[in-house]
Amino acid sequence: MCGIAGWISWNEDLREADGIIEKMSDTMQHRGPDAKGIWNSRHAALGHRRLIVVDPEGGKQPMVRVNRERTFVITYNGELYNTLELRRDLEKKGHIFYSRNSDTEVLLTAYIEWGVDCVNRFNGIYSFGIWNEEEQSLFMARDRMGVKPLFYYSDQRQLLFASEPKAILIHPAIKAEVDSEGLAEILFMGPSRTPGHGIFKGMKELKPGCWMLYRADHIMIKRYWGLKSLSHNDSLDDTAELLKDLFCSSVERQLIADRPLCTMLSGGLDSSAITAVAARVYSDNKRDGLNTFSVDYADNMKFYTPNQFETSSDNPWIQQVSDYLHTQHNYIVLDNRELAAALEPALLANDMPDMTDINSSLYLFCREVKKHAAVALSGECADEILGGYPWFHDADVIKTRAFPWIRMLPERSRFLSAGLLKHLSGEEYVRDKYREAIKEVPILEGEPDWDARMREISYLNITRFMQTLLDRKDRMSMANGLEVRVPFADHDLVQYVWNIPWQMKNHGGRAKGIFRKALTGILPSPVLERKKSPYPKTHNPIYRAEVQKELLKVLDNSAAPIQTLINKDIIRYYVESGRPFFDKPWFSQLMGDIQYMAYLVQINRWLDKYGINLLI
């Protein structure tokens, strides 16, 4: 994986823009610590930071290829998992390759051969920009599920794009401004984000499964992939068998790397399934034992008690799976004070407030994994596509016309300033975004009402909540120069599972029952039957004390930029009295009082560190 940046300008000569495009690229050195490069012409400047995973010599970027006297230049972030197949097809058409097995060269050649339709042939995770010097045009695209990010800013004179907002914000023509809509995203949608919304005024993100063609006189954006609702006619046994094949194929494709690879193992169904397939491939190919990694917190078991969402500790399950599959397991234990201190680097990696310690722990976890591996496979997306979260199985939640993971909106408003609430209604904003999402759902004619509603819930999870977790995984891993792959985000797998009827998905009356059936014989029975437990969070009071201390500093500082946005007196009362802010998680499964306090600390640091001008 890498960091990409570009600047297209019709009013300036970018042959003199080396300094600016280099600064844009260098803000993302963490994404590509191994190499860097820039390329420019009169109207285009491209930059690249590279994390080397395959073909160290042949994959240097920006990559330039000349075909029939036409010059094409690419800056690319991602991995193509069908590189060899595409390369063979292109060689049959007469194309000559100069690298050993660079997916960058294959992707660029695919565009030269097939134009914008090239994206329909890709299997992988990617975002890229290709400049056509003859046509003076820029083609950009993003993978179907949105695993890899691509932000952009455009006006009448220019277009800027990059893997992360920070690379665009450093451009001298761009100001870090946030209006009332951006604040509504942060304070009410947050820490999730509406697809395509860049938070900063004028900034957008190319949506998953979309491409853009940019010329001086127009911008064309087209969606090239989306879920299709079709009747499912496969039997239960056939469904389980095909699901197993699709899943195993996805994992196997994603094991290709020229550098050390590992899996992230929690002992849950999803990560254990990935690890099982990877361990089998390693054994079949007589490769050294597969490394696996898990995360926990210092003295966490002293304070842990099972609850509705966190049903059991991971450690015994991790050991059972590791022993069963003969992996070389590594337990990463995080210090709670360091966890609190990492709230800021996690924020800076994300360029906006995030899931607080859920993110900072992942940041620290990836930092440790990177010491041993350059590539990791992770279990994100399984619960979204297969219906594993508790809100898929709560009738009251399903009947409520709202995002299941966004809660406590009136309670959140209580902690905001009266002045701010004059300019925005968080509840109304979220309702509007919910209605927009529901209108997108591809309908299956004749589907029973309950199944149609479960299809809506699934769509919300795949296109909204899943994107939050993919963003989180990308930013926290790439902040440490670690490439993380997500086999459950394979588009063929997602499309097939999308049309499996809800009752079949829950075969045997169990969440993800069809997947459990598909994995019979691959994992031990207790692991197949284990109830879902989410990514672990700390229960150690040391972390809470650190966060409370930081929040009180913010409340005591009259110059703190967040003070215009919050009701500091009522927040101080809740902090000092120990009274709970909320009686249940206000976001997702894990984010409660302590995460809300940390979120306020992050918002204040965000406003300060980025010098944000609030347009309200």
Residue 536 lies in a domain: no
- Per-residue pLDDT, 16: 84
- Per-residue pLDDT, 311: 64
Residue 534 lies in a domain: no
- Per-residue pLDDT, 258: 85
The full length of the chain comes to 616
| pLDDT tops 80 at residue 479 | yes
Give the dihedral of Cα atoms 185, 186, 189, 194; nearest 10 deg: 40
| pLDDT tops 80 at residue 493 | yes
pLDDT tens string 417-458 = 999 999 999 999 999 999 999 999 999 999 999 999 999 999
Cβ partners under 8 Å of residue 317, min gap 6 = 266, 267, 268, 272, 527, 530
- Per-residue pLDDT, 306: 67
Average pLDDT, the chain: 95
| pLDDT tops 90 at residue 106 | yes
CATH number at residue 164: 3.60.20.10
pLDDT tens string 134-151 = 999 999 999 999 999 999
Mean pLDDT on 557-563 = 97
Q: Are residues 42 and 175 in the same domain?
A: yes
Sheet holding 261-264, edge to edge: 328-334, 291-297, 261-264, 375-377, 483-485
**Which band of pLDDT confidence, cut at 50, 70 and 90, is reported for residue 54?**
confident
Q: Are residues 352 and 402 in the same domain?
A: yes
| pLDDT tops 80 at residue 63 | yes
Q: Are residues 309 and 421 in the same domain?
A: yes
- Per-residue pLDDT, 372: 96
Q: Are residues 342 and 242 in the same domain?
A: yes
pTM higher than 0.85, yes or no?
yes
Residue 522 lies in a domain: yes
Q: How many CB atoms lie within 10 A of CB 511?
A: 19
Mean pLDDT on 198-226 = 97
Residue 229 lies in a domain: no
Q: Are residues 483 and 608 in the same domain?
A: no
248 in active site: no
- Per-residue pLDDT, 340: 98
Q: Are residues 269 and 388 in the same domain?
A: yes
Alpha helices in 130-256 (DSSP H): 165-169, 180-184, 236-253
- Domain residue limits at 285: 236-529
User: Distance (Å, rounded) from C-alpha 107 to C-alpha 73?
Assistant: 11
Domain end among 465, 495, 529: 529
Residue 290 lies in a domain: yes
Cβ partners under 8 Å of residue 198, min gap 6 = 151, 153, 165, 204, 205
**Which band of pLDDT confidence, cut at 50, 70 and 90, is reported for residue 168?**
very high
**Which band of pLDDT confidence, cut at 50, 70 and 90, is reported for residue 488?**
very high
Q: How many domains does the chain have?
A: 3
- Per-residue pLDDT, 313: 81
Q: Are residues 558 and 520 in the same domain?
A: no
Mean pLDDT on 187-216 = 98
Q: Are residues 351 and 465 in the same domain?
A: yes
Q: Are residues 34 and 166 in the same domain?
A: yes
Cβ partners under 8 Å of residue 408, min gap 6 = 582, 584, 586
Residue 204 lies in a domain: yes
**Which band of pLDDT confidence, cut at 50, 70 and 90, is reported for residue 53?**
confident
Catalytic annotation, pick one of 2, 118, 248, 381? 2
Domain end among 195, 223, 251: 223
Q: Are residues 395 and 478 in the same domain?
A: yes
Report residue 11 as tokens.
Answer: 């009013």
| Cβ neighbourhood burial of 445 (10 Å; 0-12, 13-18, 19+) | exposed
Residues of the chain with pLDDT > 70, as a percent, come to 98
- Per-residue pLDDT, 432: 98
Contact 251, 375 (CB under 8 A): no
| pLDDT tops 80 at residue 305 | no
User: Distance (Å, rounded) from C-alpha 205 to C-alpha 210?
Assistant: 10
Mean pLDDT on 33-60 = 89
Residue 535 lies in a domain: no
Domain end among 223, 249, 265: 223
Per-position b or e across 311-327, b if 16+ CB within 10 A of its CB: eebbbebbebbbebbeb
Q: Are residues 548 and 580 in the same domain?
A: yes
Mean pLDDT on 249-276 = 96
| Cβ neighbourhood burial of 413 (10 Å; 0-12, 13-18, 19+) | middle
- Per-residue pLDDT, 537: 87
Report residue 235 as tokens.
Answer: 């039997």
Secondary structure tally for the chain: helices H, strands E: 25, 19
CATH number at residue 381: 3.40.50.620
Report residue 289 as tokens.
Answer: 């034992």
Residue 334 lies in a domain: yes
Q: Are residues 325 and 414 in the same domain?
A: yes
Give the dihedral of Cα atoms 403, 406, 409, 413; nearest 10 deg: -130
